[in-house]
């Protein structure tokens, strides 16, 4: 039996407890950490961010090196489900912040919301070869824990059997900081999508290396007889791209193109974004557009689901027209899709609208804008300039 002592704060930075908290403060906080002590030594840190639906348990060895991490996301029944399990091991000379990156062994299991499991193994460390296995298994579940109720979590992550005492006092070093020592992983957030469609706006592009002036151009009305929008590379429509899960009323909707003129070379023009406008109302909130089988909770830090591009262009079309255009474009793309300096074109009086894709091939996220009532206002595919 392991006897642990629970201490609360914003987190453990490897040397001190950051911004200590008492149990009453933790009970009303969405973000906090629990440091578990074994005979005065930090053995485990549980990081909680309820607003982000996230919990992580980080285990340390005698030298303070992270040797295991379990991350949890919401389960279908409203509790928690295991998201990832990572373990690290290596020579004694590897320690501190360098341990994870240079570890001699690394094993990570990813549980997806659809039941798929991916196991990555690096038995000789980073750069020493990697193998990947795929399977299907339900993620282990966990009731939401809290102060005085950590035993089930400890059992699931194989710490124990253990008993936990809540500390009234402790001997840990303490520091106070404005910023917490950790934050939950978050997918790519939407950028300044309104600014992308503000005529004359000047924006930083190319990772801040230069700027560009925005020009907003009408591309015409797109016909959506099914109300199901597809954004895809027109050269790969035969790949059976899924429409977005969020639908709109059948009809025709205007598409607007954002063109970026790079500073110092006004002839260098890139397409910055494409917007399909559903209603002329202010956007209050943005969300990532998802297709069947995609779950934003599966995304790691800075990741996103995007429109895959391999022909240097993307397009909007109705889901009911995908198969027809796939057959029509089988083989070489038609001359109509050899886009000129304008960077976009409409086919069949609104059957499809194609546009250059930012810097070229890659993947580009689509965002859904909603108004104050939660109604869909627009779809914007950001070319991530």
Residue 351 maps to a domain: yes
Residue 10 maps to a domain: yes
For residues 201 and 136, membership in a common domain is answered with no
CA angle, 208 then 214 then 216, to 5°:
150
Residue 83 maps to a domain: yes
For residues 368 and 222, membership in a common domain is answered with yes
For residues 159 and 233, membership in a common domain is answered with no
Residue 189 maps to a domain: no
For residues 37 and 161, membership in a common domain is answered with yes
What's the pLDDT at 90? 81
For residues 213 and 164, membership in a common domain is answered with no
**Entry pTM:** 0.87
For residues 207 and 312, membership in a common domain is answered with yes
For residues 200 and 162, membership in a common domain is answered with no
Q: Which of 71, 101, 7 is nearest to 298 (CA)?
A: 71
- For residues 198-208, average pLDDT: 91
Residue 181 maps to a domain: no
Instruction: Give CA–CA dist 376/382, Å, rounded.
Output: 17
For residues 254 and 123, membership in a common domain is answered with no
Q: In the listed set 175, 210, 237, which residue is the last one of a domain according to the structure?
A: 175
For residues 110 and 254, membership in a common domain is answered with no
pLDDT at 340 over 80: no
Least confident range of 63-67, 185-189, 378-382: 63-67
Count Cβ atoms below 10 Å from residue 134 Cβ, excluding itself: 8
Residue 184 maps to a domain: no
For residues 331 and 248, membership in a common domain is answered with yes
Least confident range of 111-120, 191-200, 323-332: 323-332
For the chain, the straight-line distance linking the first and the last C-alpha, in angstroms and rounded, comes to 56
Q: Which of 168, 179, 153, 183 is nearest to 23 (CA)?
A: 168
CATH code for the domain of 93? 3.90.930
- For residues 317-346, average pLDDT: 84
Least confident range of 22-26, 46-50, 82-86: 22-26
Per the CB < 8 A criterion, the answer to whether 264 and 210 are in contact is yes
Could you give the maximum distance between any two Cα atoms of the chain, in Å? 75
For residues 301 and 165, membership in a common domain is answered with no
Residue 104 maps to a domain: yes
For residues 251 and 288, membership in a common domain is answered with yes
Count Cβ atoms below 10 Å from residue 279 Cβ, excluding itself: 15
Q: In the listed set 140, 175, 210, which residue is the last one of a domain according to the structure?
A: 175
Boundaries of domain holding 304: 195-382
Instruction: Give CA–CA dist 105/149, Å, rounded.
Output: 33
Q: What would the pLDDT profile of 134-183 be if each residue is shown by its tens digit?
A: 999 989 999 988 888 898 999 999 887 888 888 877 889 999 999 889 99
Residue 185 maps to a domain: no
Domain count, the chain: 2
**Bridge-based pairing state of the strands 269-277 and 229-232:** unpaired
Count Cβ atoms below 10 Å from residue 277 Cβ, excluding itself: 18
Q: What would the pLDDT profile of 304-328 be if each residue is shown by its tens digit?
A: 999 999 988 999 999 999 999 998 8
């Amino acid at each position: 039996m392991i006897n642990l002592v629970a201490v609360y704060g914003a987190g453990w930075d490897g040397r001190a407890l950051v911004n200590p908290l008492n149990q009453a403060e933790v009970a009303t906080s969405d973000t906090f950490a629990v440091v578990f002590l074994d005979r005065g030594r930090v053995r485990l840190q549980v990081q909680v961010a309820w607003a982000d639906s996230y919990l992580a348990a980080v285990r340390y060895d005698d030298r303070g090196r992270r040797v295991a991490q379990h991350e949890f996301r919401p389960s279908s029944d409203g509790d928690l489900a295991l998201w990832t399990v990572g373990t690290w091991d290596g020579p004694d000379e590897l320690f501190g912040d360098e341990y994870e990156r240079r570890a001699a062994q690394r094993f990570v299991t990813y549980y997806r919301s659809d039941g798929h499991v991916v196991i990555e193994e690096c038995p000789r460390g980073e750069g020493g070869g990697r193998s990947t296995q795929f399977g299907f298994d339900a993620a282990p579940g966990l009731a939401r824990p809290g102060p005085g109720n950590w035993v089930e979590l400890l059992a699931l992550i194989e710490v124990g059997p253990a008993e936990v005492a809540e500390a009234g006092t402790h001997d840990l070093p303490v520091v106070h900081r404005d910023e917490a020592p950790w934050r939950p992983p978050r997918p790519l957030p939407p950028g300044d999508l309104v600014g992308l469609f503000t005529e004359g706006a000047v924006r930083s592009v190319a990772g801040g290396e230069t700027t560009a002036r925005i020009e907003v151009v009408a591309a015409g009305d797109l016909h959506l007889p099914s109300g199901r929008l597809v954004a895809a590379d027109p050269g790969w429509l035969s790949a059976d791209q899924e429409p977005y899960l969020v639908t709109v009323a059948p009809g025709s909707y205007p598409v607007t193109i954002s063109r970026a003129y790079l500073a110092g070379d006004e002839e260098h023009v890139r397409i910055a974004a494409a917007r399909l406008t559903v209603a002329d109302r202010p956007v209050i909130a943005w969300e990532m557009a998802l297709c069947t089988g995609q779950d934003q909770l599966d995304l790691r830090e800075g990741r996103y689901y995007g429109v895959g591009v391999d022909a240097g262009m993307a397009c909007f079309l109705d889901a009911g027209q995908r198969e027809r255009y796939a057959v029509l474009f089988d083989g070489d793309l038609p001359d109509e899709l050899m886009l000129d300096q304008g960077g976009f074109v409409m086919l069949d009086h609104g059957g499809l609208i194609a546009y250059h894709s930012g810097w070229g091939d890659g993947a580009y996220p689509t965002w859904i804008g909603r108004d104050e009532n939660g109604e869909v206002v627009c779809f914007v595919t950001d070319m991530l300039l």
